[in-house]
Structure 1
Amino acid sequence: MKTSTPCPHCHKPLTVEHFEDFSSPYTMKCPHCSTKLKETKVTPFLLLLGAVAVPLLIFLGITVKTFLTGIIPLVEKVPTALVFLAFCYPLYALYEKFNAVVMFNKGNLHSKK
């Protein structure tokens, strides 16, 4: 497994931690030279994965809220997004880490022109 990949513009190393820190895998900037980067090899795969994962994560949040409502009736008035963040965020963090690792190891970075 690679530990770093060079920026296509400034050739300074980018690590998997840099990829995890990007706000989304589709809007990336080099932390050294601020050049906008695009990935051309695995982006369609990640879009397809996101189209499947997001509904599953929403379903999971609703299921957890329904389960907790049976135990604590007060949870029914709490927005589902807050319940998801409180109980399912580690699963979402693993999904984001997986995206970063796939893009880092299999991706093909280019500078946006």
Structure 2
Amino acid sequence: MKTSTSCPNCKKKLTLENFEDFSSPFTMKCPHCKAKLRETKVTPFLLLVALVVIPLLIWLGITVQNFLAGFFPIVDSVPTVFVFLAFCYPVYALYERFNALVMFNKGNLHLKRQS
């Protein structure tokens, strides 16, 4: 499996960490030359995966919060997002890593057209 690919503009390496730092597959910028990038092959597949994974992550956060509330009643008043970030972030990080690996190994990076 590839763990890096080159930027279509400046030809410098983009790593898995760079892909994990992008806020979404639609707002990718090369960290070296700041060129806007787009992926044309696997983005629809990743969006379909996100439609399945996001509800599962929400369910996981609520389940963990309910479990912890049995031991620590104060956790019931904490927003679920904070409980998720505190206890389930490694699951989310694995999901982001999966997205980056799919983009590297199956995706097609192009420069975004300037409009």
Indicate whether the TM-score tops 0.5: yes
Q: TM-score, normalised by structure 2?
A: 0.91
Q: Write the deviation string for residues 26-83 of structure 1: whole angstroms up to 9, x where unpaired.
A: 2100111111000000101100010100000000111111111111111111111111
Number of matched pairs: 113
Q: Which amino acid aligns with 1:49?
A: V
Gaps of 5+ in 2: none
> Does the 8 Å contact 1:19/1:100 carry over to 2?
yes
CA distance in 1, matches of 2:71, 2:27: 41
CA distance in 2, matches of 1:65, 1:30: 38
Q: Does 1:92 align with 2:97?
A: no
Deviates more, 1:28-37 or 1:13-22: 13-22
| Correspondence 1:1-113 to 2 at 5 A | 1-113=1-113
Percent pairwise identity: 73
Could you say what the CA RMSD is over the residues aligned between the two structures, in angstroms? 1.2
Gaps of 5+ in 1: none
Deviation, 1:3, is: 4.0
